[in-house]
Amino acid sequence: MQLALDEAWKYQFLTYPNPAVGCVILDKNKQILSIKAHEKAGCEHAELNAIKTALQNLNPKLIIPNEPNLAHEFICKNHNNLLKDALAFVTLEPCNHQGKTPPCARLFAKLKFKKVFIGTKDENDLASGGALFLKQNGVKVQMGILENKAKELIKPFIKWQNGTFKLFKLALSMNGSMLGKIVSNELSRTYAHKIRSVIDILAIGGQTIRKDRPILDSRLCSSKAPNLCIFSKQNLDSFDKEIPLFKVKERKIYTQLPKNTKFIMYEGGENFFKTFKDEMDMFLIFQSSILNTSKSLCVNAKFKPLYKSTFNDDNYGIYELLND
Amino acid sequence: MQLALDEAWKYQFLTYPNPAVGCVILDKNKQILSIKAHEKAGCEHAELNAIKTALQNLNPKLIIPNEPNLAHEFICKNHNNLLKDALAFVTLEPCNHQGKTPPCARLFAKLKFKKVFIGTKDENDLASGGALFLKQNGVKVQMGILENKAKELIKPFIKWQNGTFKLFKLALSMNGSMLGKIVSNELSRTYAHKIRSVIDILAIGGQTIRKDRPILDSRLCSSKAPNLCIFSKQNLDSFDKEIPLFKVKERKIYTQLPKNTKFIMYEGGENFFKTFKDEMDMFLIFQSSILNTSKSLCVNAKFKPLYKSTFNDDNYGIYELLND
């Protein structure tokens, strides 16, 4: 289950508005066949992704269509009982409804899985019922495996459903400086650009705009630039319109958060961080392997890491703020 | 091999004067049976450690003695061909000589391993010849697996053999401050104390002694406190003798590095780091998940990470300095 959780965290935020979900499939001898996650809304669910990979590991000649509905249909017809008595670990209860993709619970039952271990229950009325369906169709179910960690993983998803999820992105050098220019490496910045490409709004301060003259787009993943909300004491008209972010086509710029904004990322410097840190849900912090002589972030904040990993020489982590 | 390397890095420095070595054993169906390392000089080599664990996984009733010579003898008599045709990945060529522990190469041959994959050759005249012995005794050998990484792993060992290995320890907050008091957590400090318990000399600056009044012992691993070399413009007599480090029994204190010092750890603040960074072989850097308002390290240095991991909320890494 820990492997499924770690795989899911790699795609955290990128699955918006869907939950991050991971799935590990083992054969009947408990050997790992696949470790996969839901990577992006509209793409296959973690379960289908893992089942595809497991089948292809068992039969490399099998060519499974990419499109989730076609893949589902193809697998139901061509599984050849290859996954009979297999085991699955899924971080979230498999869905039981036809959304953009067909229900995963039915796939486990159809392929005659022996047992599905589930991290935590799906509280979404529409998609839930997967565990019950599995049990009714001869698949054993064990619920609540590493449940606290499984619940942490879907915190953004829970917030997206019922309110606004706010994420603060920080990029620091090893000594905590936040240069306006490039601090983190290309892989780190690509992950940040992928998040920019799915959020509703990127929140930014007037000070950063004037000082760094940024473009704030998603060029590293060749995706749509985010709409902006600029928090500034000054009127928007007072900004130099030659600053690149104003030249991005089809971008909306707000000065107040529009209604029904469910996912906001905040990017900025020390003052912006101080102003907004206490209303954030999570923090994404990149940290490079470089010491420099620029001014370091000077603020008190104690974090609880939810997930830590690296992009080459950079460390990064997803944190919650701890109250003193 | 990557698993063997990672396991070995966990015990880097602690094996002094021996090399850090990792070993992974797989059964004839390529399933992992054990992942072990050499943990400390005098304790079993990585290979014996991994073979012990593999045998106990296959036969939980087997009770193997702890003492390496007895363990070796016991395994030769009681292996029951359980590891016949097994595979081993070892980061360094298995030794072929009777030192404090019996030769590992003979153990692989005796147990009828099918093949041993080796990271890099042992250049030590005394212990080398393991690969040749294996081949002559019917065990296949493949040399040079992830060789560059295997060579990085034994850099401290190479230096210990031919000169002095210098390690700088830094403990930083997330924004790069170096508080005199506790920055890193207990697990991080325990690892640092374990290193203190094996080094020849701990090098420290007069400024740190006057400011922090430290004890600089190895209490967190209940081991012997290191001898010190104090670099100070002032005479030793000028220090307040009530500072705890002067009260440690059986501690030698030098003001110049004694001859034949093979392993030195440097600990200190910004000025000490600036003075000595360019003559260091490696850096051990702990970094907590806390932002604070203390002064941050202000110096230019670009690092290449050799190994990164975590101790709970702390990150830590072993780095080399990159030249600009």
**Mean pLDDT calculated for residue range B56-84:** 94
Task: Report whether pLDDT(B69) > 70.
Answer: yes
Closest chain A C-alpha to B302 CA, distance in angstroms: 4
Task: Report whether pLDDT(B137) > 60.
Answer: yes
Query: Domain spanning A2-159: which CATH class is it, in words?
Result: alpha beta
**Among A289, A292, A297, beta carbon nearest to B300:** A292
Q: Which chain B residues are within 8 Å of A176, Cβ to Cβ? A: 173-177, 291, 296
| Predicted pLDDT at A239 | 94
Task: Report whether pLDDT(A180) > 60.
Answer: no
To test the contact with chain A by mutation, choose from B27, B182, B289 the residue with the greatest count of A C-beta atoms within 10 A, namely B289
CA-nearest residue of chain B to A175?
A: B176
Task: Report whether pLDDT(A291) > 70.
Answer: yes
Q: Given the cut 0.85, state whether the ipTM is greater than it.
A: yes
| Predicted pLDDT at B73 | 94
Give yes or no for B293 touching A (CB within 8 A). Answer: yes
Give yes or no for A11 touching B (CB within 8 A). Answer: no
Give yes or no for A306 touching B (CB within 8 A). Answer: no
Give yes or no for B311 touching A (CB within 8 A). Answer: no
Give yes or no for B298 touching A (CB within 8 A). Answer: yes
Q: Which chain A residues are within 8 Å of B31, Cβ to Cβ? A: 31
**Mean pLDDT calculated for residue range A290-294:** 92
Whether residues A317 and B289 touch (CB distance < 8 A) is answered with: yes
Is residue A80 helix, strand or coil?
coil
Whether residues B297 and A291 touch (CB distance < 8 A) is answered with: yes
- Residue A225's Cα: distance from chain center in Å? 18
**Among A176, A291, A315, beta carbon nearest to B300:** A291
CATH number belonging to the domain at B163-321, selected among 3.30.2000.10, 3.40.50.1820, 3.40.430.10, 3.60.150.10: 3.40.430.10
Give yes or no for A309 touching B (CB within 8 A). Answer: no
Q: Same CATH fold, B163-321 and B2-159?
A: no
Task: Report whether pLDDT(A181) > 70.
Answer: no
Whether residues B293 and A298 touch (CB distance < 8 A) is answered with: yes
Task: Report whether pLDDT(B261) > 70.
Answer: yes
- Report H helices in chain A: 2-9, 46-58, 68-78, 104-110, 130-136, 147-153, 155-162, 186-198, 206-212, 270-276
Give yes or no for A323 touching B (CB within 8 A). Answer: no
To test the contact with chain B by mutation, choose from A27, A174, A182 the residue with the greatest count of B C-beta atoms within 10 A, namely A174
**Mean pLDDT calculated for residue range A252-281:** 95
Whether residues A176 and B299 touch (CB distance < 8 A) is answered with: no
Residue partners of A180: CB distance under 8 A and separation at least 6: A208, A211, A212, A269
- Give backbone dihedrals phi and psi of B65, rounded to 5 degrees, phi first: -60, 155
pLDDT tens for residues A60-87?
Answer: 999 999 999 999 999 999 999 999 999 9
Distance separating alpha carbons of residues B254 and B201, to the nearest angstrom: 9
Task: Report whether pLDDT(B182) > 80.
Answer: no
Rounded (5°) CA angle B189-B193-B194:
120
Task: Report whether pLDDT(B263) > 70.
Answer: yes
Give yes or no for A292 touching B (CB within 8 A). Answer: yes
CA-nearest residue of chain B to A29?
A: B31
| Predicted pLDDT at A124 | 74
**Among A172, A293, A299, beta carbon nearest to B300:** A293
What string of DSSP letters covers B194-221? HHHHH-SEEEEEHHHHHHH-----BGGG
Backbone torsion region of residue A10, taken as left when φ is above 0, otherwise alpha when ψ lies between -120 and 50, otherwise beta: alpha
pLDDT tens for residues A11-49?
Answer: 999 999 999 999 999 999 999 999 999 999 989 999 999
Q: Which of A7, A47, A93, A267 is catalytic?
A: A47
To test the contact with chain B by mutation, choose from A31, A175, A188 the residue with the greatest count of B C-beta atoms within 10 A, namely A175
CA-nearest residue of chain B to A297?
A: B175
| Predicted pLDDT at B213 | 92
CA-nearest residue of chain B to A178?
A: B175
Task: Report whether pLDDT(B128) > 90.
Answer: no
Distance separating alpha carbons of residues A107 and B198, to the nearest angstrom: 56
| Predicted pLDDT at A125 | 67
Distance separating alpha carbons of residues A103 and A121, to the nearest angstrom: 15
Q: Which of residues 128-167 of B touch A (CB under 8 A)?
A: none
| Predicted pLDDT at B123 | 79
Closest chain B C-alpha to A150 CA, distance in angstroms: 18
**Among A174, A287, A300, beta carbon nearest to B292:** A300
Domain ranges of chain B: 2-159, 163-321
From edge to edge, which strands make up the β-sheet containing B165-172?
A: A290-291, B301-311, B314-322, B282-287, B165-172, B263-267, B201-205, B228-231, B253-254
Q: Which band of pLDDT confidence, cut at 50, 70 and 90, is reported for residue B99?
A: confident
| Predicted pLDDT at A127 | 66
**Among B174, B303, B313, beta carbon nearest to A176:** B174
| Predicted pLDDT at A139 | 97
From edge to edge, which strands make up the β-sheet containing B32-37?
A: B32-37, B22-26, B87-92, B115-120, B140-143
Task: Report whether pLDDT(A324) > 80.
Answer: no
Upper half-sphere CA count for residue B42 (Cβ side, 13 Å):
2
- Give backbone dihedrals phi and psi of A237, rounded to 5 degrees, phi first: -60, -20
Q: Which chain A residues are within 8 Å of B300, Cβ to Cβ? A: 291-293
Task: Report whether pLDDT(B324) > 70.
Answer: no
Closest chain A C-alpha to B184 CA, distance in angstroms: 13
Task: Report whether pLDDT(B180) > 70.
Answer: no
Q: Could you list the active site residues of B?
A: 47
Tally helices (H) and strands (E) across chain B.
10, 14
Q: What is the CA radius of gyration of chain B?
A: 22
Q: Which chain A residues are within 8 Å of B317, Cβ to Cβ? A: 289, 315
| Predicted pLDDT at B75 | 96
Asked if B130 contacts B94 with a C-beta cutoff of 8 angstroms, the reply is yes
Which tokens go with A3? 């492997």
Give yes or no for B323 touching A (CB within 8 A). Answer: no
Q: Which band of pLDDT confidence, cut at 50, 70 and 90, is reported for residue A241?
A: very high
Q: Which chain A residues are within 8 Å of B313, Cβ to Cβ? A: 303-305
Q: How many pairs of residues across A and B have Cβ atoms under 8 Å apart?
A: 94
Give yes or no for B290 touching A (CB within 8 A). Answer: yes
Q: Which of residues 47-106 of A touch B (CB under 8 A)?
A: none
